[in-house]
Structure 1
Amino acid sequence: MFDVNELLEEAIKETENLTDGEVFLVKDLFKGYVWNRIPRKDRLLLGTLFLNHINKVDGSLKAIEKTSSNQQRYKKMGK
């Protein structure tokens, strides 16, 4: 069983490894097999929580456009 709040913390922590200007999806912050094991409803919730976190925190991450499959893309901005 996955705890979405723990997954959110893991995703936020993983953004520290990104380089400035890098564009990514939330699923890119997890190893493929880990992401695939997360139930779809939890992945959707995680995406919503991550977007809310980005919008609340005045940090180096910014939501940009959505992909053709309606996934939110993000960009790490320079400090």
Structure 2
Amino acid sequence: MSDVNKLLERAIYEIDFVEVDEIFLVKDLFKGYEWKRIPRSDRLLLGTLFLNYVNTVSGVIKPIEKTSSNQQQYKKIADRIEK
């Protein structure tokens, strides 16, 4: 699972490069060839971990409706957590 934790850290890092009000999928945070090289089971686990991060920690991303292929979409709502 440490590989998936590294992928999660990478996805969280990439959030900084998403524009406010932009809608995205977790796979959009990776280059296409990188995403395809991640085993499917790890991608599914990463999706679960990312959703958990968004719901409990993030404050700048919110989950929105799923796509027709059941992929969770996210929307960036702020650049930083307001303190």
Q: Classify the TM-score, shorter chain.
A: over 0.9
**Displacement after TM superposition at 1:53 (Å):** 0.4
Shift of 1:58: 4.6
Q: Percent identity?
A: 67
Provide structure 2 residue ranges, at least 5 long, that are not aligned to the other structure: none
Q: Give 5+ residue unaligned stretches, structure 1.
A: none
The alignment's TM-score, normalised by the length of structure 2, stands at 0.90
Distance 1:58 1:17, change over 3 A: closer
SS at match of 1:57: helix
- In structure 2, what is the equivalent of residue 77 of structure 1? 77
Q: Which amino acid aligns with 2:51?
A: L
Q: What residue number does 2:55 align with? A: 55
Where 1:64 maps in the other structure, the secondary structure is strand
Secondary structure of the structure 2 residue equivalent to 1:78? coil
- SS of 2:70's partner is coil
TM-score of the pair, normalised by structure 1: 0.94
Distance 1:43 1:21, change over 3 A: same
Report the count of equivalent residues.
78
